[in-house]
A and B are shown apart, each in its own frame.
Chain A
Amino acid sequence: MTKHGWTGDRLVTALAYLGIALFAVACLYPLLMTVSVSFSSEREIARNGYSILPQAFSLDTYNYIFLNSGSRILRSYGVTILVTVAGTLGALLITSMIAFAISIRKLRYRNVLAFISNFTIIFSAGLIPWYMVSVNYYGLKNSLLALILPAIFNVWNMFLLRTYMSAISPSLYEAAEIDGAGHFRIFWQIAIPLSKTPLLTIGLMYALQYWNDWWHALIFITDRDLFPLQYYLYNILSNVNAISSGRIPSGAAGAITLPAETVKMAVTVITIGPIIFLYPFIQKYFVQGIMTGALKE
């Protein structure tokens, strides 16, 4: 190998480290900024602007939030946790049952079931008809079910799980069948225990989707008591947006209590808190899920 080649290789490696480090910092920087500002004193932030390190470290903002709107935030937390837990458990049950059924090769109409599922991905009626039937016929306006049901069955997750379940050897099922087990028992006692990892993966995907959802609340919920955490944050931020654009007359702006800088960031931190804590443990399951999805293609 020529000397020239070696320097080139070193340059590539150095660039790789540099590029990766820069992008990684760009991904983490806003997060650190958010956390730092929430632990800063409001006066310093107003004077110096946002920064990566806390300015005059203080817990005042968090004290302020919990004194003034503590019950509201706790209530939103409760809504989000309830929706996330109930939604994820329901979604796992519904998704795994049909994924199991479609994975059974003996089932004559499994392709029909798969097609009915697939078609909803490629063609939909659009927002308005969906909204109309949900509100007028299913009574989902201002109902917690509006935050759970529309997202409870994800076709992609179902196909992901089916890919795993199809790999389970049919001879296992046949043996159980000879012993007199019905299909539901085979599902519950053989297929489910053998699919723990993919179930955990799609369970976490559902949980993340429910935790981060605010769109369904925007569409269906006007009752403040049913606001999930993300939508609570959205309301705080969009008030600020409307005011800083200067379109709202100053009189009206005075009527709306403008949340202080540190408060906005503190509510953001409260919203993503559980994700930050769980992130180190759950990350690898998402990576597995993505890789399986990618391999399927």
Chain B
Amino acid sequence: MDPMVEQTQVQTQPRTKRGVIYELKRHRVLYLMSVPAMLMLLLFSYIPFAGIWMAFTDFNVVDGIFGSAFVGLDNFKFFFDTGGMGWKVTYNTLFINFWGIILGILVPVTLAILLHEVRGVAFKKMTQSMMFFPYFISWVVVGAIVYGIFSTDVGVANRVLELFGMDPIRWYSEPQYWKVIIIASSVWKWSGYSSIIYLAAMANFDGSLYESAKVDGATKFQRILYLTLPMLKPTIIILTLMSVGRIFYGDFGMVYGIVGNNPVLIDEVSVIDTYVYQSMRTLGFSYATAIGLFQSVMGLILVILANQTAKKINDGEGLF
């Protein structure tokens, strides 16, 4: 096989020196096969970049994107000082994502470790299927379930409160509970899914390490603490860095699917993404574009930082 490889390399060497046109012609079928995907990216990712200009103008339909009056950074100023909700929605986004990340590590890692200790195959299979199920339903359906639990008159939560002799709560008119409800829903939906990733990592662990630890008299708890957790650390760090890279992106579907357009609750749980959508209707395209741009730029900075951190820890291998 080796001589074959060398031969083809020798053959291709002179060819690579020929021009771009030659390469495109020679592999035209392969490039043509990439065209549909590239076209989709062009239409939905690259052409929209031109619209970023709207963030620095006072956009109106008559003058168009490039004809509207230039206003500099006014839209950003409005977002953070004057009437905008800049600090509030940024805080909400970071708050919800921060707890989503922390609990999104703690719960799935615990589940994976516990599942690893379970020996009954049937039990393991069944519980794993049950835990994975929430991943398959949409946020709208989660919203229906949340309603079933927190509806004032028929919901389960108020029945439980009643059982302990407490007064029922009108959940849907009390905003202060909803950050917690949303974070809990996120943990509920993703934990089964994430625990599979950790189980996949644990499947590759060296079984003989556990055997020798057992011979040396280590208890199960000690094996978890001194073998499993340290070996899971790289996976945990990589997954955390990926989430940190996306900490400025709120989950639109989650917030809107659960809270919907409920005017009493939305301000309390509004994230940057839902705020952009709302502002588009009320405060105009330019302002909403500016917020979106702020989010994308913060996102880009964090992704690059996360990637560099990953490279440092991971012997030069980044997240992408």
Contacts and interface: CB of A to CB of B under 8 A. Distances in A.
Interface of A: 1-2, 5, 8-9, 12-13, 15-17, 19-21, 23-28, 30-31, 33-34, 37, 45-46, 49-50, 93-95, 97-98, 100-102, 104, 106-109, 113, 116-118, 120-134, 137-138, 149-150, 152-153, 158, 171, 174, 182-184, 187, 208, 211-215, 218-219, 230-231, 233-234, 237-238, 240-242, 244-247, 261, 264-265, 268, 271-272, 275, 279-280, 283, 286-287, 290-291, 293-295, 297
Given A126-B289, A153-B37, A237 B147 contact: yes
B44 A24 contact: no
A189 to B, nearest CB: 14
B114 A20 contact: yes
A206 B219 CA distance: 44
Nearest to B262: A241
Contact of A149 (B44, B113, B217, B238): B44
A287 B192 CA distance: 11
Given A126-B276, A242-B263, A113 B38 contact: yes
Nearest to B196: A290
Given A97-B33, A104-B30, A244 B156 contact: no
B199 to A, nearest CB: 8
B144 to A, nearest CB: 4
B296 A241 contact: no
A16 B151 contact: no
B273 interface: yes
A128 B285 contact: yes
Contact of A261 (B154, B197, B260): B154
Contact of B52 (A13, A129, A218, A241): A129
Nearest to A114: B320
Contacts of A286: 132, 135
A20 B112 CA distance: 9
10 contacts: A125-B52, A126-B48, A128-B280, A132-B51, A212-B137, A213-B138, A214-B253, A234-B260, A245-B264, A297-B235
A98 B137 contact: no
Contacts of B114: 15-16, 19-20
A120 B41 contact: yes
A237 B155 contact: no
A283 B44 CA distance: 31
Contacts of A279: 129, 133, 136
B288 A128 contact: yes
A214 B296 contact: no
A23 to B, nearest CB: 6
Contacts of B320: 118, 121-122
Contacts of A265: 144, 148
A57 to B, nearest CB: 18
B156 A33 contact: yes
Contacts of B110: 19
B138 A212 contact: yes
Contacts of B303: 122
A78 to B, nearest CB: 18
B266 to A, nearest CB: 10
Contact of B220 (A9, A182, A214): A9
A27 B37 contact: no
Given A183-B33, A291-B200, A5 B260 contact: no
Contact of B30 (A17, A34, A107, A230): A107
Given A19-B110, A108-B23, A218-B256, A24 B127 contact: yes
A186 B248 CA distance: 43
